[in-house]
Structure 1
Amino acid sequence: MTEPHHDVRGSGPVLLIIPGGAGHPMGLDPLTDALADRFTVVTYDPLGLAHGRLGEPVEDQRVEEWSDGAHRVLEAVLPEGGSAYVLGTSSGAIVALDLLARRPERLRHVIAHEPPCVGVLPDGPRHRDMFRAVYDTYRAAGPRAAATRLNAALTGQEPSPDPVGGHPLSRDEELRNPMALFLAHVLRQFTSYPADLAALADSRSRLTLAAGSDSRGHLLFRTAEFIADRTGSRFVAFPGGHVGVAKHPAAFAERLVRTLAALDDRSAPLPGWPL
């Protein structure tokens, strides 16, 4: 079995970053630049999309497979007996939660930023149906129409009943488009993931849920708060919205550094906690 694709830069404690979407780490360079002087930043690329595999066949994905790959990355980069910080965002945050629930032994602390595992919510079935509708829109009208519908659902807007314009992608077009791969092979599978809240509660001292301050009132802010409450974990607001990691990399990195430093110094208040 080949080792999962990943990149390493910087020095200091190991920080594993698990990207969202289809796992392509595009747009994360400014964040890793801001963190590399404090951490050994390990960026996980579960499908190898940034390592020459974009355009190759992709099947429906499973959270557990990405999580097992992340564990193998940590085994490869950590010294014997070492542990790592983990930042997962969006679909990558679901992977981070699964990693903590099933394989916590090499984890120092996990920050899960806006994980879309909406099945934990009391009205979870309705939201899972919404994500399936986004997938159906993608198949009928392509990624732009599906992304518009997805954004409306996440922000609490009424989606347009009939997508305007757009067309389905060919198989070759889909394989060259990371957003299309996410919509086709990650979205339904990951948002249906049944998070193990009992196992996460057992590791609550090593778990922080996070959401963007601009996401307040949105579905994934609510989801992160709900998981934090049910597991007894910390909750911290980060700059920006759902993609704050890419849109506000410097401020996001600063909040991450401060949050982890406060966790190591139990006498220091966590930034943004309470809200």
Structure 2
Amino acid sequence: MTSPETRTLSVAGATLTYDVRPGSGGEAPLFLVGSPMSAAGFVTLASHFTDRTVITYDPRGVDRSPRTDGAAESSPEEHAEDLARIVEAVGVETLDVFASSGGAVNALALVARHPALVRTLVAHEPPIAEALPDREAALRVFADMHETYLRDGLGAGMAKFIAAATHQGEFPEDWADGPAPDPAAFGLPTEDDGARDDALLGQNLRNCTGYEPDFAALRAASTRLVIAAGRESEQEMTARAAVGVAERLGLAPTWFPSHHGGFLGGEFGQEGQPAEFAKTLRSVLDGQH
């Protein structure tokens, strides 16, 4: 696989770092987008698309893309503008986007604002509470998670995040009132180190899960929209939200192999089914799935 060329771009409030891997074919470039996951999470998936130019990036406030405005939180609209600036800097008229998790939320905002930039968007498991039948309960779960992080630190907040992310089915109304999970049970620190700069729990959690997409703009966009979810995560919040988003757009969800991180091939110590995932993604991008 061709080594990526790393570039930087100054935008309002941040300096973005992104990578461009030149492809061997003439197909449209492919932008792989995560949030708060950085470009490091797409190494395996990118290796399956050497025929395309592949772009990856670190979102503002993550790894190589420091914020310059001192803001504590980011919004999907901010991330969408960052994505647009990168597409323009790369110098292509249009491209395809595979976006996962919070990246899928940000990419939906991108299409609503700049549809001409994206030919096809595959939005994989966007955690949008607005699309859930248990919307209010879910929003309380995430608000409690954020408050726990601010009060008690990373371990306590992340333990609640893992418990919620792996919960099967709708959230009970009293979920946030239940006993707090033990961080040690997940191998997380039990002591508060005082830091409050976590990109997930601090910077992106509330605005990402609480985002209300412009469904009218998305339905009117020239972009081909594919809303995807993993077979193994079908009853988890992110996949349930994907189904809800697809319904709001008048689409059927597209089912991918594996789970929320199904494209991972050992990044962050997590394994999905990357070869099968990439095969499905290629089929979807080619309009055959």
- The superposition leaves residues 11-53 of structure 1 with CA deviations (integer Å, 9 ceiling, x where unpaired) of 1421111113x24223321111222x12111002222634374
Give the alignment of 1:84-95 within 5 angstroms.
84-95=95-106
- Tell me the distance in 1 between the aligned counterparts of 2:153 and 2:43: 28
Shift of 1:59: 2.2
- Tell me the distance in 2 between the aligned counterparts of 1:113 and 1:199: 19
Shift of 1:86: 0.7
Shift of 1:112: 0.5
What is the aligned partner in structure 2 of residue 7 from structure 1? 19
- Tell me the distance in 2 between the aligned counterparts of 1:192 and 1:32: 30
The number of aligned residues is 254
- Tell me the distance in 2 between the aligned counterparts of 1:52 and 1:121: 32
The alignment yields a C-alpha RMSD, in angstroms, of 2.5
- The superposition leaves residues 47-72 of structure 1 with CA deviations (integer Å, 9 ceiling, x where unpaired) of 26343749x95621111111001001
Shift of 1:103: 0.8
Shift of 1:240: 1.6
Provide structure 1 residue ranges, at least 5 long, that are not aligned to the other structure: 271-275
What is the aligned partner in structure 2 of residue 239 from structure 1? 257
- Of residues 262, 277, 287, the one that matches 1:252 is 277
What is the aligned partner in structure 2 of residue 273 from structure 1? none
- Tell me the distance in 1 between the aligned counterparts of 2:129 and 2:39: 24
Q: How high is the sequence identity, in percent, across the aligned residues? A: 32
Give the alignment of 1:96-245 within 5 angstroms.
96-156=107-167, 161-164=179-182, 166-171=190-195, 174-175=196-197, 180-203=198-221, 206-245=224-263
Q: Structure 1 residues 137 and 163, CA, compared in 2 at 3 Å: closer, same or farther?
A: farther
TM-score (norm 1): 0.83
Secondary structure at the counterpart of residue 136 of structure 1:
helix
Shift of 1:245: 2.3
Give the alignment of 1:66-77 within 5 angstroms.
66-77=79-90
Secondary structure at the counterpart of residue 123 of structure 2:
strand
- Structure 2 counterpart of 1:228, one-letter code: A
Provide structure 2 residue ranges, at least 5 long, that are not aligned to the other structure: 1-8, 169-174, 184-189, 265-270
Q: Does the 8 A contact of 1:141 with 1:163 survive in 2?
A: no
Secondary structure at the counterpart of residue 245 of structure 1:
coil
Q: Does the 8 A contact of 2:111 with 2:223 survive in 1?
A: no
- Tell me the distance in 2 between the aligned counterparts of 1:256 and 1:10: 19
- Tell me the distance in 2 between the aligned counterparts of 1:229 and 1:204: 18
Q: Does the 8 A contact of 2:17 with 2:65 survive in 1?
A: no
- Structure 1 counterpart of 2:40, one-letter code: M
Shift of 1:163: 3.7
Shift of 1:253: 1.6
- Of residues 16, 21, 32, the one that matches 1:17 is 32
Deviates more, 1:87-96 or 1:218-227: 218-227
Secondary structure at the counterpart of residue 51 of structure 1:
coil
Q: Does the 8 A contact of 1:201 with 1:230 survive in 2?
A: no
Secondary structure at the counterpart of residue 263 of structure 2:
helix
- Tell me the distance in 2 between the aligned counterparts of 1:111 and 1:229: 15
Q: Does the 8 A contact of 1:140 with 1:167 survive in 2?
A: no
Q: Structure 1 residues 151 and 100, CA, compared in 2 at 3 Å: closer, same or farther?
A: same
What is the aligned partner in structure 1 of residue 46 from structure 2? 32
- Tell me the distance in 2 between the aligned counterparts of 1:193 and 1:48: 19
- The superposition leaves residues 185-229 of structure 1 with CA deviations (integer Å, 9 ceiling, x where unpaired) of 110111111111121222386100001110112222121111112
More helix by share: 1
